Amino acid sequence: MSDTTVPSGTASDDTANRRPRRDRTHWLYSAVIVAVLAGILVGWLAPGFGKSVGELGSLFVNLIKMMIAPVIFCTIVLGIGSVRAAAKVGKVGGLAIGYFLLMSTAALAIGLLVGNLIHPGNGLDLAGNANAVAKYAEDAHGAGGTWDFITSIVPTTLASALTSGQVLQALFVALLVGFAIQAMGPAGDPLLRGVASLQKLVFRILTMILWLAPIGAFGAIANVVARTGLDAVKQLAVLMVAFYLTCAIFVFGVLGALLRAVAGVSIFKLVRYLAREYLLIVATSSSESALPRLIAKMEHLGVERTTVGVVVPTGYSFNLDGTAIYLTMATLFIADAMGKPLSWSEQLGLLLFMIVASKGAAGVTGAGLATLAGGLQSHRPELLDGVGIIVGIDRFMSEARAVTNFSGNAVATVLIGTWTKTIDRTHMRAVLDKQLPFDETTMVDDHPVTTEKALVPA
């Protein structure tokens, strides 16, 4: 048995001994690709059957969402409970919020720039395309207020935070429990060991659920193609291509340059490291489906558990770069297509409102469309009818939104880990160079980087 790929001193003997275990998960992700292609063909050639299997996709996403609250709870409690200095958590959180606000502004600016240069809605007639708008406007009505957003963070009971499906409520309770265990000192160590065992159980269940990904992907893709048809996608090709290109520019241009300048890391290596998560997001059209794996992979990358536990869940509610770009371009598209273009002051006012209203919606398929309808209804109700033409391709655009949101949170974790010196950069380079592979069978690092470990400077 050879361990030549493991640098001396960077991995334990246990890790090397686990290397011969055969990784069968590559078959899973190959099956996902086949399922997506099969779903496209079925939805196109047999639309009736394609619509009937749509619930398979919803069922799979619901299974994933079932695991979100336990994953967040375990990760944050372990991260905060094991840190004896509460100020460290506050420093990470403060940096994270400030960074998220700056990047949301950058995403908004890029979306505005591209939308005003391309004008993808020019020449279209949106008369008669108001179908399905009322549903999204009703869903968004009264749900985007700042005070409603704040009050929704506090759960009804301590246990309901783990059963309601609200990410921010699970985050809030996990923070309380983590700080409480931290205040208990050594007396809280048995509780931490119990939570660590629970985390392994949660990730094992999640691994089992992921084997259903091909079935869920097939059902979701077949349903959306059956309902929209290939012609509907072609009619809005300009908007879709422009949106995808804008997201790519933001990820590889803005985020890539920032990652290289601050952490000295190539964005392409990070994207390669997270390739399977991207595939899962494309299959489910939800970044939330990859949240547990992002947490596990960031810890394996060398970022301290505390930083991961604060940055990743918070980023899923506050760092919505893809959603910001989507809201920008979709609004300009509708306004131009209806012959009622927005002035610069109107663009800024409307879209800043949408950014606030969309907090907590990352990972929820269709939430961006509801936010778009609610924002137009509040500020420019005469444009609301134009949302109908977006409905047919929102599922396809939500994939780019989710991928961009996910990328932004991955980069943010590395950047904030670098700024706060809570990342082992030597370990990170070894992981990105494929010298320390991620354990797909458990998704739990038995030897995580912690505050007790000496960090090796770059």
Give the structural domain span for 294: 24-432
Q: Which residue type does 330 have?
A: A
| pLDDT value of position 56 | 83
Nearest to 362 by CA among 40, 100, 36: 100
| pLDDT value of position 418 | 93
CB atoms within 10 A of CB 307: 32
Which helix (H) or strand (E) segment holds residue 35: the answer is helix 25-45
- Assigned domain for 283 exists: yes
| pLDDT value of position 297 | 92
Contact yes or no for 376/297 (Cβ under 8 A):
no
Q: What is the pTM of this model?
A: 0.65
- Assigned domain for 15 exists: no
d(CA 266, CA 259): 7
| pLDDT value of position 288 | 75
CATH of the domain at 79: 1.10.3860.10
- Assigned domain for 454 exists: no
- Assigned domain for 1 exists: no
Handedness of CA 92, 97, 101, 106 (dihedral sign): positive
Using the 8-state DSSP alphabet, how is residue 251 labeled? I
Number of domains comprising the chain: 1
Nearest to 52 by CA among 187, 293, 212, 226: 226
455 backbone φψ class: left, alpha, beta (φ>0; ψ -120 to 50): beta
Helix (H, G, I), strand (E, B) or coil at 303: strand
| pLDDT value of position 428 | 93
Q: Which residues of the chain have pLDDT under 50?
A: 1-20, 127-137, 139-143, 232-233, 360-366, 447-458
Nearest to 173 by CA among 152, 193, 159: 159
- Assigned domain for 84 exists: yes
| pLDDT value of position 453 | 37
Contact partners, residue 76, CB within 8 Å, separation at least 6: 171, 174, 175, 178, 309, 310, 313
Tally DSSP H helices, then E strands, for the chain: 23, 0
Contact yes or no for 241/394 (Cβ under 8 A):
no
- Assigned domain for 11 exists: no
Q: Which residue type does 437 have?
A: P
- Assigned domain for 189 exists: yes
| pLDDT value of position 271 | 94
d(CA 70, CA 18): 27
